[in-house]
């Protein structure tokens, strides 16, 4: 008889109402901006058999930067669920996201370390040319160092073609 005396207390402690899962689905749809079953939206509706204590205000956040799940949580009473999201392919930027340019393809070097290089500087009224040795590899338009006097300090130059370079700021 004592065993059943605690049963009414346990039933009284059980929540009288449960969270409506349709409201959670709607909140997730509003958060992601996409309906259930559509790319960017929840994979499936939240299972209606789920019995969560009614929550006056749910909180929604992305689980990670990959936006592959929404965390729906309640602080009082405390509960948390994860709603999986259909991933948007990374090749296509999300609506309104800035588009980044493709990474430039590295050009093959026209000057290699140890190559003899003619460095020139031309301007209105004068032209100067000096010989040196490349201290590194360089593709056309890339900067590199040229050893002009054997001191190994190097002078910065811009590669033009095989064995030819200019000082930065001058035209070829």
Instruction: Kindly state the helix (H) or strand (E) to which residue 60 belongs, with its residue range.
Output: strand 59-62
pTM over 0.85: no
How far is residue 168's CA from residue 143's CA, in Å, rounded to a whole number? 8
- pLDDT at res. 97: 62
- pLDDT at res. 94: 59
Q: Give the HSE-up count for residue 66: Cα atoms under 13 Å, Cβ half-sphere.
A: 7
- pLDDT at res. 92: 54
- pLDDT at res. 54: 93
First to last CA, the chain: 103
How far is residue 54's CA from residue 66's CA, in Å, rounded to a whole number? 29
For each successive 10 residues of the chain (172 residues), what is the average pLDDT? 42 66 93 92 92 92 89 92 85 60 69 92 84 91 87 85 87 71
């Amino acid at each position: 008889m004592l065993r059943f005396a605690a049963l009414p207390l346990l039933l009284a402690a059980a929540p009288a109402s449960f969270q409506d899962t349709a409201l959670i689905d709607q909140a997730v749809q509003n958060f992601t901006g996409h309906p259930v079953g559509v790319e960017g939206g929840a994979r499936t509706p939240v299972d209606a058999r789920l019995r969560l204590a009614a929550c006056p205000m749910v909180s929604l956040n992305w689980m990670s930067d990959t936006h592959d799940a929404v965390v729906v949580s309640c602080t009082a009473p405390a509960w948390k669920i994860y709603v999986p999201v259909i991933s948007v392919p990374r090749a296509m930027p999300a609506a309104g996201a800035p588009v980044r340019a493709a990474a430039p393809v590295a050009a093959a070097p026209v000057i290699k370390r140890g190559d003899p290089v003619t460095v020139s500087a031309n301007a209105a009224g004068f032209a100067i040319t000096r010989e040196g040795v490349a201290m590194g590899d360089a593709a056309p338009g890339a900067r590199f160092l040229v050893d002009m006097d054997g001191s190994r300090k190097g002078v910065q130059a811009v590669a033009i073609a095989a064995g030819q370079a200019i000082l930065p700021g001058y035209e070829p």
